[in-house]
Amino acid sequence: MHRIQRKKRRFSALAALVLAALAAWGALRAAVPDTLYLEPGRPLTLASLPFLQAGAPAADAAAPAASTATGGSQNTTLRLFGVLPIKTVRTVQAARRTVLVSGAPFGVKMLADGALIVAFSDQHTALGAENPAKAAGLRLGDLIVSAGGVPVRGNADLTAAVTAAAGRPLTIEYQRGGAQCTATLTPVADRDTGAWRAGVWVRDSSAGIGTLTFTDPEHATFAGLGHAVSDTDTGEAFALLSGEIVPVAIRAVRKGAAGSPGELRGEFSGTAMGTVRANDATGVYGVLTGAAPAGEALPVANIQEVAPGDAEILVTLSGTEPQRYAVRIERVDLTAADPNRNLLLRVTDERLLQTTGGIVQGMSGSPIVQNGRLVGAVTHVLVNDPARGYGIFAATMLEKADAAAG
């Protein structure tokens, strides 16, 4: 009996060990992207996962690396400590790009491609309080793009359509969560003025301050912020119709604290530097049309070259001239579901901590430099720990900038 029990315990322990090994193997596979980019002639190494090595097992060192050439790319097998196969990835050879790293503050002015619902307002009518928009099923964050078959580019277009309907049912086309939707809204007459109302407040423009990450003179493009410009009331990304970027001079800093993010405060100055082509989840991108701020020419790191360790960020705390401040990259996630959180960093520079408390609003887009390369940009602050925040890979922003420029 005791022998049977011991065998059962050994089997259970072995099964648990096998399951743990399979889970670890699966986690390692998930931590590596399917495709990685390399400079021609460079071996594949993962700075954030140094225990994964490309090539043949150590016992067969004379054998060629486990790869199959396919034109400008090849399949490379990554092995745990060079022995246990973990994942085969596609490596693409591509020349390294160089950009002008900025860190200068800039302003973003945008007009919406529609009318964004930011509030509801009950209307006082002869029948009492009514709200046509709510009755039609509209919600905060919906983007109205058409009313009565007429395109809506802003508040004036929506007001004109509601007035023209004069109480008749009005077909509203709107976007919600990326889906195109339709509703029927019946305007009501204000009891005191007789004016026709829909019962909504909408926003059709936006302006704010952020940090320019880089410019690419060769392609006349720019990238900044590291995240989308979002509406302050709804949190929805601003649907872009047109926009421009302008220089900004920082005039004051509101220091952040746990639970209360700080802020860079500045004023727009000068003429437009560029046209916004995309308000993307990963940043604001466009084409340069004027003189952009000067910057330092630095190569852009491929994502597998970014490692936990010391780095610097470029931030402007006064005027228009950025300075470098020390940070530490605490974590690198090559396959994060949210590209704004590929990097976790901590501000270690006492000068910056004394002035700002860490990362504050307006620093989004601040370039992150490591080992002489542009590796990323600041995106968000941890509200309860302002010395820490998230970052995005610079390689991701460069790819998006190229796409925005066509």
Residues 6+ apart with CB under 8 A from 22: none
Residue among 142, 231, 349, 366 flagged as catalytic: 349
Catalytic residue from among 227, 231, 280, 366: 227
Distance between the two ends of the chain, CA-based, in angstroms? 74
**Cβ–Cβ under 8 Å, residues 389 and 379:** yes
The total of other beta-carbon atoms located within 10 Å of residue 377's CB is 35
Longest distance between any two alpha carbons in the chain, whole Å:
93
Neighbouring CB atoms inside 10 A of 309's CB total: 13
Q: Give CA 319 to chain center in angstroms.
A: 26
CB 315 within 8 A of CB 352: yes
280 is catalytic: no
Distances (CA, A) of 162 to 16, 115, 140, 198, 247: 66, 13, 19, 7, 38
Confirm if 78 and 89 have CB atoms less than 8 A apart: yes
**Helices and strands, counts by H and E, the chain:** 5, 28
Spot the catalytic one: 48, 364, 366, 380: 364
Tell me the Cα Rg of the chain.
27
Distance, in Å, from the CA atom of 41 to the CA atom of 94, rounded to the nearest integer, reads: 10
Q: 171 and 106 in contact (C-beta within 8 Å)?
A: no
C-alpha span between 368 and 377 (Å, rounded): 5
| DSSP, res 58 | G
11 Cβ contact partners less than 8 Å away, ≥ 6 residues apart: none
**Pairwise CA distance, residues 141 & 203, whole Å:** 10
Tell how strand 221-224 and strand 283-288 pair up: antiparallel
d(CA 377, CA 390): 9
Give the whole-angstrom CA distance, residue 319 versus residue 296.
Answer: 18
Cβ neighbours of 82 (radius 10 Å):
16
Q: Is 349 a catalytic residue?
A: yes
> Is there a catalytic annotation at residue 12?
no
Give catalytic residues, as residue numbers.
227, 349, 364
